[in-house]
Structure formats: structure tokens, C-alpha cells
């Protein structure tokens, strides 16, 4: 029968506690900061670019990337709107980055990516392609224009 030395036992306990803390931290962060885009089953209806207004603060944007543009190229929403972006591509792989909103998705032919973004401040949020897609890549942009409805009345 082997006997564990006191110092070995102490090292094993500290290692176990550190490992348990590490695993707890990973699980906690995964639950709290899980804003990764969803992948949805492909459907041809997502290939038609459009903006749907569900109510005063909820919108759906069906964004389509193709050489070298995003459609719709301008999206108008009010301050405080929550927008579900459904993204696909009609040709090659494109990137989809919304400035100042921490949105980073890939537009892949035959796939649908979805994420939800809330726009709390008025302004123009640029959408750019961050995946080199060809000779016109640098021109591939769109924008989300967030208006304050009280300012226009």
C-alpha cells in the first residue's frame, strides 16, 4: 500500500481546485457571453434581400452578399431597435462586419447565419466585407442608419 506524501497531497488538492475553477470559468463565460451567430437550415427565401418590420422596435434584415455588394445596401431603423440579421451569399464566401457592434459573421453560399443586434445610439453603422472575395472586395459595403424618430418630428 502506497502512502501519499503530505506535500504531494497538497499539490494535488491545489491542482484540483485550480482545474475546477478553470472549468467553472469556461462554463460561466460560455453561458454569459455566448453571442456567436446561429447557423440555420438553408432556404431559398433567404436569398431575397429585404427588411421586415415586426413592430416599432423589432426588425428582420435578410442580407444577401454577392460580388461586390450587400443587399439591402442601406437599412433604416429607429433608435432602440433590435434587428435579427439573416445572412447568406449568392456566390463566394464574404465577411460581414458591423462597425461598433461587435458583429463578425461569414456569408457562405448555401448557408444562413443569424445574429441579433440592438442599436441604442443614433448614427451610421458601416457594414464591410472582411473576407477577401475578389477584385471589387474593397468596395463591398453597406450601412445601417439609425435615426432618432424624435429628432425628425
**Over the stretch 60-111, which tens digit does the pLDDT of each residue have?**
999 999 999 999 999 999 999 999 999 999 999 999 999 999 899 999 999 9
Query: How many whole angstroms separate alpha carbon 152 and alpha carbon 135?
Result: 40
Single pTM value for the model: 0.77
Is 91:109 a contact under the CB 8 Å cutoff?
Answer: yes
- pLDDT for 42 equals 84
- pLDDT for 31 equals 79
pLDDT higher than threshold 80 for residue 148: no
Burial of 49 by CB count in 10 Å (0-12 exposed, 13-18 middle, 19+ buried)?
A: buried
To which H or E segment does residue 83 belong?
A: strand 81-89
Q: Phi first, then psi: give them for residue 21, nearest 5 degrees.
A: -65, -40
Pairing of strands 50-55, 58-66: antiparallel
Amino acid at each position: 500500500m502506497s502512502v501519499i506524501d503530505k506535500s504531494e497531497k497538497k499539490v494535488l488538492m491545489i491542482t484540483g481546485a485550480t482545474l475546477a475553477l478553470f472549468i467553472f470559468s469556461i462554463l460561466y463565460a460560455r453561458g454569459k457571453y455566448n453571442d456567436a451567430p446561429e447557423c440555420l437550415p438553408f432556404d431559398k427565401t433567404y436569398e431575397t434581400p429585404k427588411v421586415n418590420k415586426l413592430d416599432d422596435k423589432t426588425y428582420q434584415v435578410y442580407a444577401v452578399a454577392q460580388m461586390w455588394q450587400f443587399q439591402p445596401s442601406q437599412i433604416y431603423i429607429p433608435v432602440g431597435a433590435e434587428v435579427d440579421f439573416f445572412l447568406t451569399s449568392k456566390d463566394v464566401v464574404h465577411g460581414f462586419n458591423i462597425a461598433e457592434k461587435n458583429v463578425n459573421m461569414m456569408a457562405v453560399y448555401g448557408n444562413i447565419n443569424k445574429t441579433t443586434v440592438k442599436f441604442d445610439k443614433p448614427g451610421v453603422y458601416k457594414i464591410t466585407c472582411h473576407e477577401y472575395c475578389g477584385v471589387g472586395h474593397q468596395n463591398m459595403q453597406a450601412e445601417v442608419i439609425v435615426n432618432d424618430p424624435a429628432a425628425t418630428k
